[in-house]
Amino acid sequence: MAYTLTVREGLVRGMLMAIGEDPDREGLLETPARVVKAWDEWFDGYKRNPQTELKTFEDGAELCGDEMVLVRDIDFYSHCEHHMAPFFGKAHIAYIPNKRVVGLSKLARVTDVFAHRLQVQERLTNQIANALVDGLDPQGVGVVLKATHFCMCSRGVNKQGSTTITSALRGAIKEEPSARAEFLRLVAL
């Protein structure tokens, strides 16, 4: 029985031929299906809503009305929209609650919603911050992303070891010098 390629698998097969490969050689026979499956995972952010990821609780928030909550070193993986090359790194996300707190894993989930789309790091940083402002109505939000971009280190200028750092600050973390300093100090630990 012959295997029939889906439209997306056919596109991958065409890409293989375009780079000079033989899609019928043994090692590549299942590659179109594997690529489609990987893309379904890497780009599932288009099918997800960041606001549905933000489960909040009032219980526990009463004692942290002006205290910062920070989750550091959240791994993220994305693809740049210019070359579709991977970029990856760490996200550091903080917020100052306003009568409710969010499940900590939800900060990682919101990061993944936006990272799993074609991106530029600057937009990704701001999308995470804006989603937290919209979903939590916090007193402040701070987001710092540090990433390595394959479009910089594996092609073009070929600068291995280079990283890009972006930040987005909202509310008290942007406007109050002490909150801003606390956030930046905690991120640097």
Q: How would DSSP label each residue in 152-172?
A: HHSSTT--TT--EEEEEEEEH
For residue 116, indicate whether it is catalytic. Answer: no
What is the distance between the alpha carbons of residues 180 and 144, in angstroms, rounded to a whole number?
A: 12
Q: Which of 21, 83, 153, 176 is catalytic?
A: 83
Domain positions in the chain: 7-42, 50-188
For residue 151, indicate whether it is catalytic.
yes
Whether the per-residue pLDDT at 27 is higher than 50: the answer is yes
**Domain with residues 7-42, CATH architecture:** Orthogonal Bundle (1.10)
Residue 83 annotated to the active site: yes
More confident residue, 177 or 154: 177
Query: What digits encode the pLDDT tens for the residues 31-52?
Result: 999 999 999 999 999 999 999 9
Catalytic residue among 80, 116, 119, 127: 80
* 50-188 shares the fold of 7-42: no
Selecting among 119, 121, 127, 139, the annotated active-site residue is 121
pLDDT digits (tens, 9 = 90+) for 113-131: 999 999 999 999 999 999 9
How many Cα atoms sit within 13 Å of 112 on the Cβ side?
A: 15
What pLDDT is recorded for position 57? 83
Question: Residue 106 is which amino acid?
Answer: K
81 given a catalytic annotation: yes
pLDDT tens for 55-106 read 888 777 776 767 899 999 999 999 999 999 999 999 999 999 998 889 999 9
Q: Which fold has domain 50-188?
A: GTP Cyclohydrolase I, domain 2 (3.30.1130)
